[in-house]
Amino acid sequence: MTTKTLLAALGLAALFAVPCRAASFDCAAPADAWQRAICADPALSRLEGEVATYYGDMQGTPWLHGLRSRHEAAMAVLRNQAGDAGALRRGLEARLAALREEAGWSSVEELEGTPDRRVRSRCIGLLPEEDDSPALRRRACRVAEFGVLGSVDGRRYAYALYEYTPDPRGEMPHETGVVVLAPSSPGSWTVEIAERLAYAACQKPRLIPQGGETLLSIPCEEVGTAGAPLPLLYHRTGPASFRRWQPIEAESWRAALDRRLPPGLEPRGSGNLDLARMMATVTLQRETDQPCCPTGGRAEARLAIENDRLVLRDLAILPPPPRR
């Protein structure tokens, strides 16, 4: 089943499906105030279940990183409104409407079977953020870079990097787009990854052999003085008949690193991530260090992929090099 066919089916299913009859969690043992508030109202329970089901059915969309960040942010706001049933209802209804809009996006945009000359010269419409102004939604876009990546599972892949019109007054965020494409027929391409990022810039994606599979890394970073990395990482999952790129949470190992560092040491900067070796090297500093001169040595973290997350498997603390 193609991406476009899948999302179209989701849209039709939403029109005719019977609403969920229960929340997505066990109301026999609600875990917190949010779950108790949902379980106490049958209408809220059905609505939350419908939102959870719809979100779960959208896990094959090309913009899954953006979908997850938008959904998690919206649900985090709702979880702080457990004492207001009206706010919960309005928020869940808005979340369901936003998910439906995203599911229908591919039916109006050229995500499948786009001619080669078209993807090289013109941007494919990428989903904007839910609260973007009309000016941001209409923002002009150009293809800044197009190239071939290589082959995975017998399919060759290409990429395009998009740049949105800069705002000389600084009133709109710097935006970039990343599209990864696979051939759908001779002379045409289908979008498999399509992410639009605000306050970020991205570089050419890379295919990285890792064990028995191939990772797809899209190195992005925040635009500004800090320039913190925003890595997008994927691996291939699914049955042979419908393989797709599944996002990997690339920053989850850092929380474990912080917990395992000796007292008095903390990471300095973002460090260096070597996906081919599944290693990360991070400089360490002490609270008393001057900005110029960290003295805590470095941490070498051995990583692994578990449940679509990059996790910390082992850690070595190495002393700083001897002073000359």
Map residue 221 onto helix, strand or coil: strand
Residue spans per domain, the chain: 3-106, 109-248, 253-318
E strand residue ranges, 199-249: 200-202, 206-210, 213-218, 220-222, 232-237, 244-248
Map residue 72 onto helix, strand or coil: helix
Helices 85-103 and 42-57: crossing angle in degrees, nearest 10, is: 20
The structure's pTM equals 0.80
Residue 137 CA to residue 134 CA, distance in Å, equals 5
E strand residue ranges, 47-174: 114-115, 141-152, 155-164
Give pLDDT tens digits along the chain (324 positions): 454 444 444 443 443 343 445 888 888 888 888 899 999 999 999 999 999 999 998 888 888 888 888 899 999 999 998 888 899 999 999 999 989 888 877 665 668 888 999 999 999 888 776 666 777 777 889 999 999 999 998 889 999 999 988 776 766 678 899 999 999 888 999 999 999 988 888 999 999 998 888 999 999 988 876 678 888 999 988 887 788 899 999 988 999 999 999 999 999 888 899 999 999 999 999 989 888 889 999 999 999 999 999 999 999 999 887 766
Amino acid at 176: T
Q: Which residues pair with 302 in a beta bridge?
A: 279, 314
Q: What DSSP string describes 269-312?
A: EEEEEETTTTEEEEEEEETT--TT---S-EEEEEEEEETTEEEE
